[in-house]
Amino acid sequence: MKNSVSIGLFGLGTVGSGVIQLIQNHQEELFHQVGCDVKVKTVLVRDIEKDRDVQIADIELTTDPDKILQDPEIDIIIEVMGGVEEARQHITDALNAKKHVATANKDLIALYGPELQQIATENSCDLFYEASVAGGVPILRGLSDGLVSDRIQKLMGIVNGTTNYILTKMDEDGFSYEKALKEAQDLGFAEADPTADVEGLDAARKMAILARLAFFTNVELDDVEVNGISQVAVEDLNYGKKLGLTMKLIGLAHFENQQLEVSVQPTFLAKSHPLTAVKNEYNAIYVNGEAVGETMFYGPGAGSLPTATAVMSDVVAIIKNMRLGVNGHSFVGPRFEGVLKTADQRYSQYYFRLHLKDEVGAFSKITSLFNELGISFEQILQTPLSKDELAEIIIVTHTVSLENFQTALMKLRDLPVVDDVISYYRVEGDGK
Amino acid sequence: MKNSVSIGLFGLGTVGSGVIQLIQNHQEELFHQVGCDVKVKTVLVRDIEKDRDVQIADIELTTDPDKILQDPEIDIIIEVMGGVEEARQHITDALNAKKHVATANKDLIALYGPELQQIATENSCDLFYEASVAGGVPILRGLSDGLVSDRIQKLMGIVNGTTNYILTKMDEDGFSYEKALKEAQDLGFAEADPTADVEGLDAARKMAILARLAFFTNVELDDVEVNGISQVAVEDLNYGKKLGLTMKLIGLAHFENQQLEVSVQPTFLAKSHPLTAVKNEYNAIYVNGEAVGETMFYGPGAGSLPTATAVMSDVVAIIKNMRLGVNGHSFVGPRFEGVLKTADQRYSQYYFRLHLKDEVGAFSKITSLFNELGISFEQILQTPLSKDELAEIIIVTHTVSLENFQTALMKLRDLPVVDDVISYYRVEGDGK
């Protein structure tokens, strides 16, 4: 074993700078862990001349990936450049050059994780990606080491800080979606183009990665059903409050009878659910295991240094494996094909809001419709609307299949007394 | 590598039964992880004839530890018998016989962890104890793998389910301590002799283990300052509520400038602190790292199957190491002596309640005393007491050294206008 391990870094943005800073500040801690010096030797950047926030005096910057890929001194690649195709090429080349890889790239792993994992295994290399889900929260190791002996049944994640910040502001301060988004952008929690966050795509990528690891299934990104928060009205959050419910953008992964449901959607949580207390830009993953019951992992989902700690936990694991000569053995492959549940196999409670014409017997037409379909109600709120002689009704159902609920919605819309179905959302109880 | 790994189990109580059940129910999952069958071969019990809740048809029960210790087929020992001296002897013998050990025994590890670790290392054996702290919560691996690259500064744990259940009942339902304890005993959350739990000793053992791993220090059990909850009055919880504070039995481990503070004491938490939401018998460990910021690990702190999942995560790690031939290399030794902070180096906010004689200018005597000592107040509550012409005053200070606060308490008690200082507690802000 060498006295020093050299790292090649792809990308010097927010996370890349955090990695350099963390390595510089924690030299002694790292040495104590792995018994040798750890240093970044070369960094691939787009612009060598650009001013940098971090100390890079003894680091070589380059615009040529081969300077890293063909350097025999470099054993480990950290990929934090983002994007998909270029990163995929570099990581493939690195693994084929027998270099171990730690990446924070959720887009890439969600799309090509299994393919890259296979290349890693063929080359006896480690490929780790702890930072790809929930930044500083060590959830991937939590699943694959800590909860390894259990059978995980359900996983619910608040895995996107931007949307959690927006929903917290809407819920606690009564902000509209637009105002909350603007504030998130001003504070740097949301990007100028927020689409990937607010439409749930970012969360969907993380849920695909989590579902693969939690259930040992083949899950493709396309398997994840996605709904974002851009259509969420502050009115629904206020009604939710009256019903003891808080809205979060929840990534759900549920596995039973070897069948799978993975989705991202705005969901009302009961006040007592552990995820309800997760506020602002924080992330948390709630894991329900057959034997362990309820557990939750909470922490920062993004940020330069928090994400860097996750990247460097991968690097420490790689170096420890190097010292023992056991790289390329950590990955445990899938056991199941990811067969998706159909709508009649997916059960949940639902919240829905509708406008009803203010006629005698209108409400009883609703109740008999649901009665016919065998759907019962847990909570009902009725408020008169001053305009248009309409009443606003909010109903929370008991547990019902998605198919049944969709049928109910369709039939509701056909009822002459129903003016409009305004909104509907999944509801999660207290987590038991 | 063999086709089957045989385990010797010491103890067949709650956790031992959980281990057998988990192995039987999760045979396929375990095989998928480690590539071989995992079975319990022999169990050391006190009474062979006793009726058991679990299926033990193909398992040998014995009262002779040597049946396990001298069996060359047995590679792994699981110790869940509890107690200290006998377990210490068996684990020492097992390690010297080159058998790997997974134990759930916090009393033993708190007292003799370093000694046993050394014996394990000398024998190239693994000694793991994930189940010794916070049952099903994978916090030890979270610290030593997940957060390995960070410098952990502060750790706060709700690591005793019994006391958390009692305090939750007192806080939410207004129960007295005695009534809440009785209910906890009826539900099986508290033992007939609850001393170790309610006086904080159980939590102290877990905090010693956590502080060692989090800070790489030598911490002895005696280094942990302990105060339990048996003297906590429901009045203080109610005043706390008015001040936006919730009481929890908090294990605190704080490390700065290579100096250490480890304590267990009833502590008021700000409403926004992540630990405030941890209720009933649940456990959680809040970890503050220099780079990662705030993280929290939440889950069940006890129970047959949850604790068994932690034990079996150790067993899976041991078998994976066996397959790679790298047992005995996981442990990373301490870096620092555990030098304790003195009272002038320990800072906190404090809550205190006192009875003041109802005289003109009495309160200003209090404020000038604290003013002289440089201690300022964050919140003040004053209530007239109907009896005895006394006023009840509750004060929350700004941050102050323990030494300074203790001086203030002493001088308070000497003031003629002060009838009595009823209680005082540490206060933790919002966790930032």
In a shared domain, residues B16 and B71:
yes
How far apart are the C-alpha atoms of A248 and A276, rounded to whole Å? 8
Confidence class for position A385, pLDDT limits 50, 70, 90:
confident
Q: Are residues B88 and B208 in the same domain?
A: no
- Distance to chain A for B143, nearest Cα, Å: 9
Q: How far is A23 from chain B (nearest CA, A)?
A: 9
B142: in domain: no
DSSP string, B207-232: HHHHHHHHHTEE--GGGSEE--STT-
Same domain (yes/no): B292, B308: no
Count how many pairs of residues, chain A against chain B, have C-beta atoms within 8 Å. 185
Confidence of residue A94 (pLDDT cuts 50, 70, 90): very high
Q: Which residue in this structure is represented by tokens 């001349």? A: A49
Instruction: Tell me the residues of chain B between 56 and 75 that have a Cβ less than 8 Å away from chain A.
Output: none
B161 in contact with A at a CB cutoff of 8 Å? Answer: no
User: Whose structure tokens read 């170096």?
Assistant: A319
C-alpha–C-alpha distance, residues A301 and A104, integer Å? 12
Q: Does B30 touch chain A (CB under 8 A)?
A: yes
Report how many domains make up chain A. Answer: 3
**pLDDT of A238 higher than 80:** yes
Give bridge partners of residue B76 from the DSSP assignment. Answer: B7, B100
Query: Looking at the structure, do residues A347 and A332 belong to the same domain, yes or no?
Result: no
User: Do B266 and B395 reside in the same domain of the chain?
Assistant: no
**Candidate from A290, A292, A309 with C-beta closest to B300:** A292
pLDDT value for B432:
45
Same domain assignment for residues A153 and A295: yes
Q: What is the structure's pLDDT at A430?
A: 64
Active site residues of A: 206
Angstrom distance (rounded) from CA A138 to CA A159: 13
Confidence of residue A196 (pLDDT cuts 50, 70, 90): very high
| Same-domain status, B131 and B266 | no
Q: Which residues pair with B401 in a beta bridge?
A: B347
Task: Please give the single-letter amino acid code of residue B398.
Answer: H
CB contact under 8 A, A303 and B293: yes
Residues on chain A touching B150 (C-beta within 8 angstroms): 22, 26, 29, 309
CB contact, 8 Å: A136 with chain B? yes
Q: Which of A149, A156, A314 to mutate to test the interface with B (most CBs of B within 10 A)?
A: A149
Q: How far is B66 from chain A (nearest CA, A)?
A: 28
What string of pLDDT tens digits covers the 432 residues of chain B? 678 999 999 999 999 999 999 999 999 999 999 999 999 999 999 999 999 889 888 999 999 999 999 999 999 999 999 999 999 999 999 999 999 999 999 999 999 999 999 999 999 999 999 999 999 999 999 999 999 999 999 999 999 999 999 999 999 999 999 999 999 999 999 999 999 999 999 999 999 999 999 999 999 999 999 999 999 999 999 999 999 999 999 999 999 998 999 999 999 999 999 999 999 999 999 999 999 999 999 999 999 999 999 999 999 999 999 999 999 999 998 998 889 999 999 999 999 999 999 888 899 999 999 999 999 999 999 887 766 778 999 999 999 999 999 999 999 999 999 999 999 999 998 654
- Are A355 and A332 part of one and the same domain? no
Cα R_g (chain A), whole angstroms: 24
pLDDT in tens, A337-377: 889 999 999 999 999 999 999 888 899 999 999 999 999 99
Computed over every residue of chain A, the mean pLDDT equals 95
B403 annotated to bind ligand: no
Contact (CB<8Å) A305/B296? no
CA distance B201 to B227: 8
- The reply to whether residue B298 touches residue A303, judged by beta carbons under 8 angstroms, is no
> The domain that contains B283 carries what CATH number?
3.30.360.10
Which chain A residues are closer than 8 Å to B324 by Cβ? 324, 326, 329
For residue B277, what are the CA distances in angstroms to A278, A371, B140, B200, B236?
A: 10, 38, 22, 21, 19
* A107 and A166 share one domain: no
Q: Mean of the pLDDT values across residues A28-52?
A: 95
CB contact under 8 A, B294 and A299: yes
Check B299 against A296: CB less than 8 A apart.
yes
Return the C-alpha torsion angle B130, B131, B132, B134, nearest 10.
Answer: 100
The answer to whether residue B138 neighbours chain A at the CB level (below 8 Å) is: yes
**B223 Cβ contact partners less than 8 Å away, ≥ 6 residues apart:** B208, B260, B262, B338, B340
DSSP state of A339: P
Mean pLDDT of A390-409: 95
Q: Is A142 near chain B, with CB under 8 Å?
A: yes
pLDDT computed for residue A359 by the predictor: 86
Q: How many CA atoms lie within 13 A of B388 on its CB side?
A: 10
The residues that bridge with A7 in the sheet, in sequence order, are A40, A76
Contact B110, B41 (CB under 8 A): no
Q: For residue A233, give how far its alpha carbon lies from the nearest alpha carbon of chain B (Å).
A: 26
Distance CA A181, CA A194 (A): 8
A317, A355: one domain:
no
Q: Is residue B240 part of a domain?
A: yes
Tell me if residue A408 falls in helix, strand or coil.
Answer: helix
DSSP state of A340: B
Q: Answer positive or negative: Cα dihedral of B56, B57, B59, B60.
A: positive
- Poorest-confidence range of A6-15, A108-117, B116-125, B330-339? B330-339
pLDDT at A358: 83
Tell whether B301 lies on the interface with A, counting CB pairs under 8 A.
Answer: no
Strand order in the sheet with B60-62: B60-62, B37-44, B4-10, B74-79, B100-103, B127-128
B168 and B119 part of one domain = no
B260 domain residue, yes or no: yes
Active site positions of B, annotated? 206
Q: What is the pLDDT of residues A261-319, one digit of tens each?
A: 999 999 999 999 999 999 999 999 999 999 999 999 999 999 999 999 999 999 999 99
Strands B259-270, B245-256: pairing is antiparallel
Does any domain span residue A291?
yes
Structural domain boundaries enclosing A76:
4-135+304-337
User: What string of DSSP letters covers B349-406?
Assistant: EEEEEEEEE--TTHHHHHHHHHHHTT--EEEEEEEE-SGGGEEEEEEEE-SEEHHHHH
d(CA A265, CA A229): 8
Q: Is residue A140 part of a domain?
A: no
Q: Is residue B143 part of a domain?
A: no
Pairing of strands B245-256, A225-226: unpaired
A144 lies in some domain: no
Per-residue DSSP letter, B341: P
CB contact under 8 A, A292 and B136: yes
Record the tokens describing residue B316, joined without a space: 């899976």
- Tens digit of pLDDT for each residue in A80-91? 999 999 999 999
Domain CATH code at residue B328: 3.40.50.720
Is residue A143 domain-resident? no
CATH number at residue B408: 3.30.70.260
Instruction: State residue B1's pLDDT score.
Output: 64
Residues of B in contact with A213 (CB under 8 A): none
Same domain (yes/no): B361, B421: yes
- Cα B137 to Cα A327, B17, B24, B141, B197: the distances in Å are 27, 19, 22, 10, 19
Token pair recorded at residue A70: 């063909």
Q: How far apart are the first and last CA of chain B?
A: 49
**Confidence (pLDDT) at A309:** 97
- A194 touches B: beta carbon within 8 Å: no
Substitution target from A295, A314, A318, A320 for chain B, most B beta carbons within 10 A: A295
**CA-based nearest residue to A44, from A14, A15, A20, A64:** A64
Encoded tokens for B89: 């002897």
A191 is in an annotated binding site: yes
Contact assignment for B146 to A142 by CB distance below 8 Å: yes
Chain B: residue nearest A21 by CA? B291
If you ran DSSP here, which 8-state letter would residue A274 be given? G
- C-alpha distance from residue B131 to each of B19, B107, B264, B303, B311 (Å): 11, 12, 20, 11, 6
Q: Which band of pLDDT confidence, cut at 50, 70 and 90, is reported for residue A432?
A: very low
The answer, yes or no, to whether residue A431 has pLDDT greater than 60, is no
